[in-house]
Structure 1
Amino acid sequence: MRNLLLAVTAMATVWTFPSVAPAQTTEFQTWLEGVRSEGLAKGLKPATLDSALNGLQPIERVLELDRRQPEFTRTFWGYLDSFVTEDRIRRGRDLLRRHAALLDQVAKTYGVQPRFLVAFWGMETNFGDYTGGFPVIGAVATLAHDERRSDFFRAELFHALKIVDEGHIAVADMKGSWAGAMGQPQFMPSTFTGYATDGNGDGRKDIWTTLPDVFASAANYLSKIGWDDTETWGREVRLPAGFDLETADLSVHKHISEWQALGVRRANGADLPVADIEGSIILPAGVKGPAFLVYGNFDAIMTWNRSVYYALAVGYLSDRLIGQGALVARRPADEKPLHRDDIIDLQQRLNAAGFDTGKPDGMIGPATRGAVKAYQKANGLPPDGYPTHELLQSLRGG
């Protein structure tokens, strides 16, 4: 749906948008005329297109944020410490109680447990505190006009125009993140048009200020992407000595009884639950970090946001909201993130050694993790695919 960290940064700031060069403005206005013509062909009202497009200019800050690369990678523990705080847990528990009647009603209708709805709410906008200060139409139009992801954002622009056209919100009030994520659940315009719901029956779908609409929309989306309220998201587990790390991957699915037979246990050492479901083992911080057994609802969270860290944080926060304890694993005292320059160096050295990471870009994606795992296997190291400073020193010959 969007990059959460960039969205929160953008939402927490009141932006002033710089002017653009006259030539760029003229070219943009010509491009907008094409948008207007296509909008009319799609059946959008002329008044909607006038209110949304007249005087519109590209937002330079949006392009800056779209191209920004983080200086440091975020470690699993750093991510968790930032998003699952004691203050957020306390506040989430209070809101879970305060809105219990509404949340229970939504849960009965859509089959999504209240604690998860509150966890998503907390993760996305800190319970509605930071819903975004960028004009959504302007932001997505800027990104649609830009060549990098023009097709995707042009489609999002027409979804945004449709939302205005249907009267759900005025153009001036349609605020969101720099990438167009909107409201308290941070829906992209296409997610809104596909799943937003009128929870209070007033004829509008208001995910900005109306909690019945916020919760019903989030629950409707989750239910449509496979949420199962008879299951949880997953749990922290303990792996046995000699565990085959090749099986620690979201692509590997085994029945809980199979993981039990392989020696996997709950984090406290107790047996795994007896249930007729499958799960996958993941190691978000490598072999030295915590291990998790995750189920089908974890996949649904990953559909909401493709970050494993995000999905684990939502699940963990939802557990803490109902009184479950902290993780058994503890953050290493000497943990430090990799600098982007270090990741580029690591990628270049892996490529030179015959382990293909693709073009070095300073980002740790599937190709880099695969190359790291292949290097680890070739050198007798635990093949967890997790890049560390120690691994980089090994590649440097240190």
Structure 2
Amino acid sequence: MWKPVRGVVLALGLTLPVLAGAQTPAAGQGDPTFERCLQAIALSAREQGIGAEQLAPLLAGLSPDRSVLALLDRQPEFTTPVWDYLAALVDTQRIDDGRQRLAEHAGLLQSVEAAYGVSAATVVAVWGVESDYGRVFGQRPLLQSLATLACEGRRQAFFRSELLALLRLLAAGDLSAEGLTGSWAGAFGHTQFMPSTYARIAVDGDGDGRRDLVASIPDALASTANYLKRSGWRSGQPWGVEIRLPAGFDQRLAGRSKRQPLSQWRALGLRLHDGGPLQVAGIADTDRAAVILPAGRTGPALLVFRNYDAIYSYNAAESYALAIATLADQLQGLSGFSTPWPTDDPGLDRAQRRALQQLLLARGHAIGQADGMIGSATRRAIQLEQQRLGWSTTDGRAGRKILAALQAEAGGGN
């Protein structure tokens, strides 16, 4: 998300120093409204103590990337069925890779767990979900994305504060702007902190005097544990358990904010999923818990505790929190949910997605590489195949049914 930037920028009448030999046009040139917004941001940055000579190379040459604006209302945590979301993020490959990271960084993770009380598996699960263990940081130049969101679209005040936080981090020397990329919304690094969270929470895990969550795995993992601790993580407690609801359970009692003591849930007839009494190691009868039904009454029913809330605070979406929680469980050898998701067309893991894309390529669809990433080209190709097969639903979704249908036609079975 970062591009090398050079040149000059004006800040509401304050001329920032011209770098020697700079020839690049001023920031936002050709877009007066965007340029005025950057000038105002530069003035705010100067008022917060960032020197003009530091701002010049950071803001010069920026232009808006309006493709990020459309993503404000299309976050996958809120638009993807939970079974698709978990199938993609909690798959065999991510579990195997996570167990390798647990072994590879055992000494570091032991120190982090001792310092912050957060289980190593949970820290590694966040790492796995957020960046695939450091493989995928996001490809958008971070300054450009945040500058665009700070100047256009909704939530400008929020993104302006994030841009200013990032400028402070860069000016302080924790990070280098050269090549710095992240998500469309401004999260970056191994565990995808937003800049303001970075400024508040990041710690120096490797002792080099800097907090670099991009280049330092110790900094990133220790900072993640610090975040969860400060969000209320309770050492030695589970995030939640799968439960069995009594007949006639009032679904109005469900919801993450509708918490009752464990003893009260027991009195209402809740039991563990295997039918055993509602007793949970590490949880006292007075500890408050909530029932969540991520797919409604016919899907898995879960009783979640304080540690679930800590995970949820990292990215306030039910699917996201469940991905972290269930990946952490499976990294420790625990099983997934016993109750199946209420769908006759389950989601695909990455290996299955790649297999589907290979079948689409073989049928002549120009979708690029079979990388397991379901983008607009793959969805359009699936939609065309659904239409060809005469299906009543042609939504372009990558599920088991379309994979099985194309495998059968190719003679590959299921």
TM class by shorter-chain length? Answer: 0.7 to 0.9
Deviation digits for residues 183-228 of structure 1 (CA, Å, limit 9, x no counterpart): 0110000000010111111111111121110111111111111111
Letter matched to residue 55 of structure 1? G
Q: Specify every segment of 5 or more residues in structure 2 that has no aligned partner in the other structure, as ranges.
A: 3-27, 348-414
Contact 2:34 2:64 in 1 (8 A): yes
2:198 aligned with 1:188: no
Q: Could you tell me which residue of structure 1 aligns to residue 47 of structure 2?
A: 41
Q: Could you tell me which residue of structure 2 aligns to residue 16 of structure 1?
A: none
Q: Could you tell me which residue of structure 2 aligns to residue 366 of structure 1?
A: none
Q: Could you tell me which residue of structure 2 aligns to residue 209 of structure 1?
A: 215
Q: Report the secondary structure of 1:236's partner residue.
A: strand
Alignment of 1:219-258 (within 5 A): 219-258=225-264
Contact 2:83 2:341 in 1 (8 A): yes
* Structure 2 counterpart of 1:326, from 333, 336, 341: 336
TM-aligned CA distance change 1:180 to 1:317, over 3 Å: same
* Structure 2 counterpart of 1:177, from 159, 180, 183: 183
How far apart, in 2, do the equivalents of 1:336 and 1:126 lie? 22
Contact 2:244 2:272 in 1 (8 A): yes
How far apart, in 2, do the equivalents of 1:168 and 1:246 lie? 47
TM-aligned CA distance change 1:60 to 1:291, over 3 Å: same
Structure with bigger gyration radius: 2
Q: Report the secondary structure of 1:44's partner residue.
A: coil
How far apart, in 2, do the equivalents of 1:224 and 1:116 lie? 15
How far apart, in 1, do the equivalents of 2:304 and 2:137 lie? 29
Task: Return 173-182 or 23-32, whichever deviates more.
Answer: 23-32
Q: How many residues align?
A: 317
2:112 aligned with 1:102: no
Deviation digits for residues 299-327 of structure 1 (CA, Å, limit 9, x no counterpart): 11111111011111211111111111121
Shift of 1:63: 2.7
Contact 2:295 2:342 in 1 (8 A): no
TM-aligned CA distance change 1:291 to 1:24, over 3 Å: farther
Alignment of 1:7-46 (within 5 A): 25-46=31-52
Task: Return 141-150 or 57-66, whichever deviates more.
Answer: 57-66
Q: Could you tell me which residue of structure 1 aligns to residue 393 of structure 2?
A: none
Deviation digits for residues 340-394 of structure 1 (CA, Å, limit 9, x no counterpart): xxxxxxxxxxxxxxxxxxxxxxxxxxxxxxxxxxxxxxxxxxxxxxxxxxxxxxx
Tell me the C-alpha RMSD between the 2 structures: 2.2
How far apart, in 2, do the equivalents of 1:299 and 1:224 lie? 12
Letter matched to residue 147 of structure 2? A
2:283 aligned with 1:270: no
* Structure 2 counterpart of 1:133, from 139, 163, 185: 139
How far apart, in 2, do the equivalents of 1:282 and 1:140 lie? 34
How far apart, in 2, do the equivalents of 1:39 and 1:167 lie? 15
Deviation digits for residues 40-93 of structure 1 (CA, Å, limit 9, x no counterpart): 1211022220110111111132234336587x9422212211111111111111
Letter matched to residue 68 of structure 2? V
How far apart, in 2, do the equivalents of 1:169 and 1:69 lie? 27
Q: Report the secondary structure of 2:241's partner residue.
A: strand
Letter matched to residue 236 of structure 2? T
Q: Could you tell me which residue of structure 2 aligns to residue 142 of structure 1?
A: 148
Q: Could you tell me which residue of structure 2 aligns to residue 78 of structure 1?
A: 84
How far apart, in 1, do the equivalents of 2:161 and 2:79 lie? 31
The runs of at least 4 consecutive aligned structure 1 residues that moved more than 6 Å come to: none
Q: Report the secondary structure of 2:178's partner residue.
A: helix
TM-aligned CA distance change 1:154 to 1:115, over 3 Å: same
Contact 2:295 2:341 in 1 (8 A): no
How far apart, in 1, do the equivalents of 2:253 and 2:294 lie? 14
Contact 1:268 1:328 in 2 (8 A): no
How far apart, in 2, do the equivalents of 1:298 and 1:67 lie? 25
* Structure 2 counterpart of 1:284, from 294, 316, 320: 294
How far apart, in 1, do the equivalents of 2:125 and 2:346 lie? 27
Task: Return 201-210 or 244-253, whichever deviates more.
Answer: 244-253
Contact 2:137 2:182 in 1 (8 A): yes
How far apart, in 1, do the equivalents of 2:37 and 2:342 lie? 52
How far apart, in 1, do the equivalents of 2:99 and 2:156 lie? 41
- How high is the sequence identity, in percent, across the aligned residues? 41
Q: Report the secondary structure of 2:290's partner residue.
A: strand
TM-aligned CA distance change 1:264 to 1:24, over 3 Å: farther
Q: Could you tell me which residue of structure 1 aligns to residue 19 of structure 2?
A: none
Q: Report the secondary structure of 1:313's partner residue.
A: helix
Letter matched to residue 224 of structure 2? A
TM-score by length of 2: 0.72
Shift of 1:333: 4.7
How far apart, in 1, do the equivalents of 2:82 and 2:68 lie? 27
Contact 1:199 1:212 in 2 (8 A): yes
Contact 1:107 1:219 in 2 (8 A): yes
Q: Specify every segment of 5 or more residues in structure 1 that has no aligned partner in the other structure, as ranges.
A: 1-9, 12-21, 338-398
2:317 aligned with 1:317: no
Q: Could you tell me which residue of structure 2 aligns to residue 382 of structure 1?
A: none
2:128 aligned with 1:118: no
Letter matched to residue 289 of structure 1? G
How far apart, in 1, do the equivalents of 2:341 and 2:329 lie? 19
TM-score by length of 1: 0.75
Letter matched to residue 43 of structure 1? G
How far apart, in 1, do the equivalents of 2:180 and 2:112 lie? 25
